[in-house]
Chain A
Amino acid sequence: EAQVTQNPRYLITVTGKKLTVTCSQNMNHEYMSWYRQDPGLGLRQIYYSMNVEVTDKGDVPEGYKVSRKEKRNFPLILESPSPNQTSLYFCASRSIGMSTDTQYFGPGTRLTVL
């Protein structure tokens, strides 16, 4: 079954305590991305990766880091979380062919930073 998994699904943490949200896909997709979703602001792209070792900033990259050492994994790192990073986070993977576009989103990670 095609799947994007995220862990943890829920996390409450405190300001400044480094955390990592993992994302893994089993479809061998080249393209992966992280988004945050906030009420009234919709989905905003944080970072995206076009393949292993290739990453680029989205609209809201400040305060986040990513790495893509393997094709299947794309972790999101918050080195020093702050309360304004409280949000719902989604990881997504994608593959684009000649006339196809296949995308899958993970189930989301709800992060609260106190």
Chain B
Amino acid sequence: QKEVEQDPGPLSVPEGAIVSLNCTYSNSAFQYFMWYRQYSRKGPELLMYTYSSGNKEDGRFTAQVDKSSKYISLFIRDSQPSDSATYLCAMSETSGGYQKVTFGTGTKLQVIP
């Protein structure tokens, strides 16, 4: 079993929809959680990061962590065609982050105009 599981998609939604992207993990030592966006033929870019359970909001993006269920989510409100990309979750065991980082396999999202 992989330490981090992520549905590869693809996920197709109409423009303006709310998108929910999810990851589950098995390592209860994970404390630091990140979401990246990767456009085709580009390197990943960090979108959101959080240390703790609960919600963190940044513009149209909300990251949610439920440590009791070992489940994290990224919500995108008012989705735009420019949001079409692969979204990767990642996590590490320390809040400092200077440690090994484990990624999910990524979910490909397509937002249809």
* A contact set with B: CB distance below 8 Å: 4, 30-31, 33, 35, 40-45, 48, 50, 56, 58-59, 90, 92, 94, 96, 101-103, 105-108
Are A101 and B46 in touch, CB under 8 angstroms?
A: yes
Please name all residues of chain A whose beta carbon is closer than 8 Å to the beta carbon of B102 when the two chains form the complex: 45, 59
Please name all residues of chain B whose beta carbon is closer than 8 Å to the beta carbon of A101 when the two chains form the complex: 34, 46, 49, 97
CB distance from B94 to the nearest CB of A (A): 10
A103 to B88, CA, bound (A): 14
In terms of DSSP, what is the predominant structure of the interface of chain A?
Answer: strand
CB<8 Å pairs between A and B, sample of 26 = A30-B98, A31-B97, A41-B105, A42-B103, A42-B106, A43-B44, A43-B90, A43-B103, A43-B106, A45-B100, A45-B101, A45-B102, A48-B100, A48-B101, A56-B100, A58-B101, A59-B100, A90-B44, A96-B97, A101-B34, A101-B49, A101-B97, A102-B46, A103-B45, A106-B43, A108-B43
Please name all residues of chain B whose beta carbon is closer than 8 Å to the beta carbon of A105 when the two chains form the complex: 43-45
Please name all residues of chain B whose beta carbon is closer than 8 Å to the beta carbon of A48 when the two chains form the complex: 98, 100-101
Known: A33-B101, A43-B103, A44-B103. A96 touches B96 (CB 8 A): yes
Residue of B nearest to A102 (CB): B46
Q: Contact string, B17-41, partner A, CB cutoff 8 A, digits 1/0?
A: 0000000000000000010000001
For A42, give its contact among B41, B100, B105 (CB under 8 Å): B105
Please name all residues of chain B whose beta carbon is closer than 8 Å to the beta carbon of A45 when the two chains form the complex: 100-103
Interface residues on B, range: 20 to 34
Please name all residues of chain B whose beta carbon is closer than 8 Å to the beta carbon of A4 when the two chains form the complex: 43
A94 to B97, CA, bound (A): 9
Please name all residues of chain B whose beta carbon is closer than 8 Å to the beta carbon of A94 when the two chains form the complex: 97
Please name all residues of chain A whose beta carbon is closer than 8 Å to the beta carbon of B41 when the two chains form the complex: 108
CB distance from A33 to the nearest CB of B (A): 7
Residue of A nearest to B49 (CB): A101
Are B100 and A90 in touch, CB under 8 angstroms?
A: no
Please name all residues of chain B whose beta carbon is closer than 8 Å to the beta carbon of A35 when the two chains form the complex: 103
For B88, give its contact among A42, A50, A56, A96 (CB under 8 Å): A42
